[in-house]
């Protein structure tokens, strides 16, 4: 399977703490994307990191990519109760014009106030 696998499956922290989620995949990628899904809603794109990038920041989010280990991590700093959601990594293994993403099962993050 090409799909990414998030780790841990569930994470519970206190408000103000940092949350780190990991993603591993098996075959080479063009890019890796992280998405958030609030309960009962669709997925929201957070950040995209290309295969030739090692680190990327967006606000309180920091994403790293290690292509030699085929892994990525998402760090959310100074977490808030509103960050409570499921987080998914999605890997792009597309070739030519056939673009598609392969999603993992997600990490359920709970931030306690």
Partner 1 sequence: ETGVTQTPRHLVMGMTNKKSLKCEQHLGHNAMYWYKQSAKKPLELMFVYNFKEQTENNSVPSRFSPECPNSSHLFLHLHTLQPEDSALYLCASSQDPGTGQPQHFGDGTRLSIL
Closest separation in Å from C-beta 42 to partner 1: 3
What residues from 65 to 94 belong to the interface with partner 1 (CB under 8 A)? 88, 92, 94
Look up tokens 């960050």; give the residue: 83
Among 102, 107, 109, 111, the residue binding partner 1 under the rule CB under 8 A is: 102
| Greatest pairwise CA separation for the chain in angstroms | 46
Closest separation in Å from C-beta 17 to partner 1: 26
What residues from 29 to 48 belong to the interface with partner 1 (CB under 8 A)? 30-31, 33, 35, 40-45, 48
Question: Does 8 sit behind a cis peptide bond, omega within 30 degrees of 0 on the bond before it?
Answer: yes
DSSP per-residue codes, 7-27: E-SEEEEETTS-EEEEEE-SS
Closest separation in Å from C-beta 104 to partner 1: 6
Q: Centre a 10 Å sphere on the Cβ of residue 78 and count the other Cβ atoms it contains.
A: 11
Q: How far apart are CA 46 and CA 48, in angstroms?
A: 7
98 binds partner 1 (CB under 8 A): yes
Interacting residue ranges for partner 1, rule: CB under 8 A: 3, 30-31, 33, 35, 40-45, 48, 50, 88, 92, 94, 97-105
């Amino acid at each position: 399977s090409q799909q990414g696998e998030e780790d841990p499956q569930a994470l519970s922290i206190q408000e103000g703490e940092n949350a780190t989620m990991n993603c591993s995949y098996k075959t080479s990628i063009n890019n890796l994307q992280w998405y958030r899904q609030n309960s009962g809603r669709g997925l929201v794109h957070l950040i995209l990191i290309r295969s030739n990038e090692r680190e990327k920041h967006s606000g309180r989010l920091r994403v790293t990519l290690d292509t030699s280990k085929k892994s990525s991590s998402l760090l959310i700093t100074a977490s808030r109760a509103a960050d409570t959601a499921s987080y998914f990594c999605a890997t792009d293994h597309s070739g030519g014009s056939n673009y598609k993403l392969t999603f993992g099962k997600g990490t359920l993050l709970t931030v306690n106030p």
